[in-house]
Each structure stands twice: as C-alpha cells, then as structure tokens.
Structure 1
C-alpha cells in the first residue's frame, strides 16, 4: 500500500459511493487507475466490503447497553463467540483485558427487550455475572475501519 492507496481509502471512508473519476480528480489518477487500485485492495482483503449504515432507531432498536461479561474459569474466545453470536441483540463483542472477560454491545427495541437479551447472556453455562451500562446519549460515533 502506498500513499495513493491510503488516499483512496480515506475518500471511500468519507463516501463509499464516490465515483472513481471523483476520487481520481482528488488524488491525481485517472478513473481507470483508481478502479484498478480499488479492485486490488478488494482482492488483497484490505477493503472487506461496501455497505450502508442505517440508524438503528429507524429499525426500532434505540435502546442499547454495554455489558461487561465475567466468566467462571477460563473460557476460550471461540466459546464466547458461539455463545454471543446466537443472541440477535448482540451487535458487537470483544474479549478485553482487565477484570471482565468480554465487553458486549447490545441493542434492543426497549428496556424489556434489553433485559431479555441480558438474561440470554446470563443463562449461558460459563457466565458468572454481568455488569451493564445503559446508553443515555451517543456523543461520538465513527464508522469502523
């Protein structure tokens, strides 16, 4: 990857629908050269896909919480993945350092839905307990790379 590739990525992050000609005019390449570079970035796995992001409140999923997950004993990340991927309300999950074993982001339609999703997590065999923080207002949200 060179500086031109980085420029293409920066512009696509700002607007994934930008045309190759528009990108080329900014970074100094022809539309066909930009297309070749984008195709290579896709083939190399640098660009993983093109997508849209819909405001979750439009889909009625406006209640969210971050949940620290504490497990009994040692639990492999693969086991946590298996457990959490089966719960539709889980939109993001990561293993973390510190006292918790994982951090889980849950979205639900309302508090009752959030509580039901938390119960699914808590009933898993290896889960000891959870600690939740309900989101009151979102201050910054940047697109993931």
Structure 2
C-alpha cells in the first residue's frame, strides 16, 4: 500500500472540501480527471479514505462551548466500559482511553456552563468514575482546517 505525494495532495484537497470535483482536483495536481478518480477510488478501497463528511459550526446551533474532561475510574475498569459509559452522554463528541492518569479524556460540546455541569454530572453517574477534571477550550485549530491567521492579543 503506497501513498505518494500526489495521493497526499488529493487527500489534502478533499480534507479542505469533500465536495471538490475530480475535475478541480485534476487541475490542481496536473493529472487527468480519470486518473484522479482512479486514485481516489483506490484510496477508498485500501481504507485510507474512510468516508466523506460535513463540517458543522456548532456555535451557530447554540452549542458553542467546548471542554475536555479527564475521567478517573475505580479499579481495573476495562477500556470498553470507559468508552461505552461516555457514549451514553449525548454531549460527548469523542472519548480517548489513555494510558496513565487519567484513564480517559472526553471531548464535550455544550450550550452553556450549566449544561456542561449537567453533562459532567451524568458522566460521573455512568460507571465507576472516581474523579474528573475539566478544561475549557478557549480556541482551537486542527490539521484539517486552513492554517491559522496571525495571533492577535486584543485587549
């Protein structure tokens, strides 16, 4: 399974806009439309591309607060139980079972601070949670987004 520089560029283009046409990508990478389609099909067949999705601005839906909560579990709670218990809380966006202390890191999205408190309380009631620590997100960026602009320190 080889993924060359052109495949990497196609992945970058699709990550930026999953609705980009084969024709647009062909113009960007210097290949024919058929060659781009074959490459994208191959990337799907070998499991590099696992799906296409939409990016949602959750703040416009009223869920503008993000936080990460560290969870500590009692005893030898299995990883599967950690993931299952967090899955039961609708505000949970992702669960990362991790080695060491804490046992898991949970990404939450909520409407306001009261909603955050309610979500954390529900997580505390699911499974043998013995401790939590919550970190509020002030800003974020990830590799699938365009490069961040200059940092401004407005006061």
Same fold per superposition (TM over 0.5): yes
Match of residue 121 from structure 1: 123
Q: Secondary structure at the match of 1:65?
A: strand
1:18-97 equivalences in 2 (<5 Å):
18-97=20-99
Point out the more displaced range, 77-86 or 19-28. Answer: 19-28
Aligned mates of 2:21, 2:127 — CA distance in 1: 50
The TM-score, its normalising length taken from structure 2, stands at 0.84
Number of residue-to-residue matches in the alignment: 143
Q: Which runs of 5+ in 1 are unaligned?
A: none
Structure 1 residue runs of 4 or more that deviate by more than 6 Å after TM superposition: none
Point out the more displaced range, 39-48 or 10-19. Answer: 10-19
Q: Secondary structure at the match of 2:27?
A: helix
Give RMSD over aligned pairs. Answer: 1.6
Q: Which runs of 5+ in 2 are unaligned?
A: 146-155
The TM-score, its normalising length taken from structure 1, stands at 0.90
Aligned mates of 1:60, 1:11 — CA distance in 2: 29
Q: Secondary structure at the match of 2:141?
A: coil
